[in-house]
Amino acid sequence: MAERSSVQYGRTTIPFQVRRSAARSQVSLVVQAGQKGVLVYAPKGTTLERLAALLRQRGAWAVAKLRQVEFADRPDRPREFVSGEGFTYLGRSFRLGIHAVRDPKPARMERGWLEVEVPRGKGEGGRRRAARAAVVAWFKERAAARLPERLERFTKKLGLPAPRLLLRDQASRWGSCNEKGEVRLNWRVVQAPMVLVDYVAAHEAVHLVHKNHTRAYWAELARLVSDVEGCRAELRRRGGAYVW
């Protein structure tokens, strides 16, 4: 059962709960959507007093993060695929420009707008389906260009050859690794900031060495990714907006 306590920072009370693990070597502070207060991941044996003191030192950060979560936008409405709608690529925002033309060409990025051409003469529903298909094709092309290099970056650190990478269209998983040593990554992840893309790539790369989420697995992942819990929480917070 997690330990619960709180510290005072100015006029703000910061509640926190502690989750301990013998596999951890350092303390991490995480604030995530749906969680009131700060999650403190700590090595086994770290005193509550030391953790409270650390949280007071990081008080300004904690208060800012808690306010950010409190006023976070509600989950995005279903995608409409209309001009002006916003998307992200590697965490950078852009908008769609939809154009009905006789002979549509592939989507292209121009000055912060993804220009999407759809066949002229289609009804509203047909235009939106055509626009979605064009946007998906554009993202899949970006994923095919960027994800192999990000995965190979971590397999090299593990002393492994580049594995076979398969891009997948999944609504509930960002990646997986099978017994053949093949890695599957969800193309949708390229909407996320690069630090989260790298977290997903590293997560699957380590599975080439450790099949299950053992203590050794998490220790190896922590060697490759500086803030595993923070990345995991941030991907959970943002991920719903990437699934459409």
Length of the chain (residues)? 244
pLDDT of residue 64: 79
126 and 153 share one domain: no
Task: Give the whole-number percent of the chain exceeding pLDDT 90.
Answer: 68
Mean pLDDT over 86-92 rounds to 94
pLDDT of residue 78: 86
138 and 161 share one domain: no
In this model, does residue 74 exceed pLDDT 70? no
Task: Supply 198's token pair.
Answer: 């790298």
Last residue of a domain, one of 36, 70, 104: 70
In this model, does residue 76 exceed pLDDT 60? no
Residue 216: inside a domain = yes
pLDDT tens column, 143-165: 999 999 999 999 999 999 999 99
Give which of 64, 49, 55 is closest to 16, Cα–Cα. Answer: 55
pLDDT of residue 1: 56
SS3 percent helix, strand, coil of the chain, rounded to 5, is: 40, 25, 35
152 and 232 share one domain: yes
150 and 238 share one domain: yes
Last residue of a domain, one of 70, 104, 128: 70
pLDDT tens column, 195-232: 999 999 999 999 999 988 888 999 999 999 988 988 98
63 CB contacts (<8 Å, ≥6 apart)?
Answer: 9, 10, 12, 14
Residue 119: inside a domain = yes
Domain residue limits at 133: 86-144
150 and 236 share one domain: yes
238 and 155 share one domain: yes
Mean pLDDT over 25-38 rounds to 81
pLDDT of residue 33: 60
β partners of residue 5: 16
In this model, does residue 72 exceed pLDDT 50? no
CATH of the domain at 201: 3.30.2010.10
Tell me the C-alpha distance between 224 and 198, whole Å: 9
Last residue of a domain, one of 144, 159, 180: 144
Which of 85-94, 127-136, 168-177 shows the lowest mean pLDDT across its residues? 168-177
Task: Give the whole-number percent of the chain exceeding pLDDT 70.
Answer: 93
Residue 114: inside a domain = yes
233 and 169 share one domain: yes
pLDDT of residue 58: 92
151 and 235 share one domain: yes
Tell me the C-alpha distance between 4 and 48, whole Å: 10
What band does 35 get if pLDDT is binned at 50, 70 and 90?
A: low
183 and 219 share one domain: yes
Residue 213: inside a domain = yes
Residue type, 71: F
Residue 208: inside a domain = yes
pLDDT of residue 71: 47
Mean pLDDT over 43-72 rounds to 84
pLDDT of residue 170: 81
126 and 151 share one domain: no
Instruction: Share the mean pLDDT of the chain.
Output: 90
220 and 191 share one domain: yes
What band does 118 get if pLDDT is binned at 50, 70 and 90?
A: very high
Number of structural domains found in the chain: 3
pLDDT of residue 2: 66
131 and 44 share one domain: no
Residue 79: inside a domain = no
